[in-house]
């Protein structure tokens, strides 16, 4: 009888702790639809969030050549390595934020592809910085830069382009490693 009571108590405890459906993750339930404030202009978002994040990352790699000689720009302390990790982390989230309703530009498929590629490449850049890999930080930073340049070629408004980007059917700029 004592074993039966112990078994019953365990069953009640397990039932109380388990999610409602088998295999369903436990977590907070969202009762209201998410709201996004995307009132910040794209120029402000880029200038105050994306660009500083990119430069946090890029300034922690490569060499600087001056009259005094070459200077390695790589961090030399754990705190120093936190800077490119933070920059890459912010770029990962920037790629996500660029996909929010109100930020997506036409042609949408191209915008989403560049945003996702930014997140993907920033994740690789972050991994290199976490490993304190000087060459990896430099190489991955170049791959992030390629995405930025290719996206800017298509989406930065220039007088000769329509306000929402190139006309449908215009080829995408080449981005190494991207599925064009």
> For 47-63, what is each residue's pLDDT tens digit?
999 999 999 999 999 99
Structural domain spans, the chain = 39-175
Interval 145-152 mean pLDDT? 96
Tell which wins on pLDDT, 8 or 73: 73
Whether pLDDT at 21 is above 70 = no
* 151 vs 118: CA distance, rounded Å: 10
Phi-psi region of 165 (alpha: psi -120 to 50; beta: other; left: phi over 0): left
Under the banding of pLDDT at 50, 70 and 90, the label for residue 86 is very high
Q: Which residue has the higher pLDDT, 90 or 11?
A: 90
Cβ distance 118 to 178 under 8 Å?
A: no
What's the CATH class of domain 39-175? Answer: mainly alpha
> How far, in Å, CA of 40 to CA of 103, rounded?
9
DSSP letters spanning 23-73: TPPP-PPP-S-------S-HHHHIIIIIHHHHHHHHTTSSEEEETTEEEE-
Q: What is the pLDDT of residue 102?
A: 93
Tens of pLDDT along 32-43? 888 899 999 999
Is the preceding peptide bond at 107 cis, omega within 30 degrees of 0?
A: yes
pLDDT at residue number 17 = 47
Calculate what percentage of the chain has a pLDDT beyond 70. 70
Q: The whole model's pTM is what?
A: 0.72
Cα–Cα separations (whole angstroms), residue 104 to 25, 55, 77, 85, 164: 30, 23, 39, 26, 10
Q: How confident is the model at residue 111 (pLDDT cuts 50, 70, 90)?
A: very high
What distance in Å separates the CA atoms of residue 156 and residue 40, rounded to the nearest whole number? 16
Nearest to 130 by CA among 90, 96, 89, 95: 89
Q: What local confidence, expressed as pLDDT, does residue 162 receive?
A: 44
Q: At what angle do helices 134-155 and 51-58 cross, to 10 degrees?
A: 150
Of residues 63 and 24, more confidently modeled: 63
**Residues comprising the chain, all counted:** 180
Section 173-179 average pLDDT: 45
Name the band, by pLDDT with cuts 50, 70 and 90, for residue 31: low
């Amino acid at each position: 009888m004592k074993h039966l009571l112990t078994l019953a108590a365990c069953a009640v405890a397990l039932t109380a702790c388990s999610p409602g459906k088998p295999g369903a993750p436990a977590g907070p339930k969202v009762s209201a639809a998410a709201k996004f404030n995307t009132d910040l202009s794209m120029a402000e978002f880029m200038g105050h969030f994306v660009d500083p994040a990119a430069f946090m990352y890029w300034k922690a790699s490569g060499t600087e050549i001056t009259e005094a000689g070459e200077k390695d720009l790589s961090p030399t302390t754990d705190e120093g390595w936190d800077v490119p990790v933070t920059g890459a982390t912010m770029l990962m989230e920037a790629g996500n934020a660029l996909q929010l309703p109100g930020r997506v530009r036409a042609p949408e498929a191209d915008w989403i592809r560049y945003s996702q590629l930014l997140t993907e490449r920033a994740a690789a850049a972050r991994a290199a910085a976490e490993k304190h890999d000087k060459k990896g930080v430099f190489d991955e930073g170049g791959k992030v830069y390629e995405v930025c340049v290719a996206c800017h070629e298509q989406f930065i408004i220039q007088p000769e382009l329509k306000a929402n980007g190139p006309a449908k059917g215009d080829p995408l700029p080449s981005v190494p490693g991207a599925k064009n």
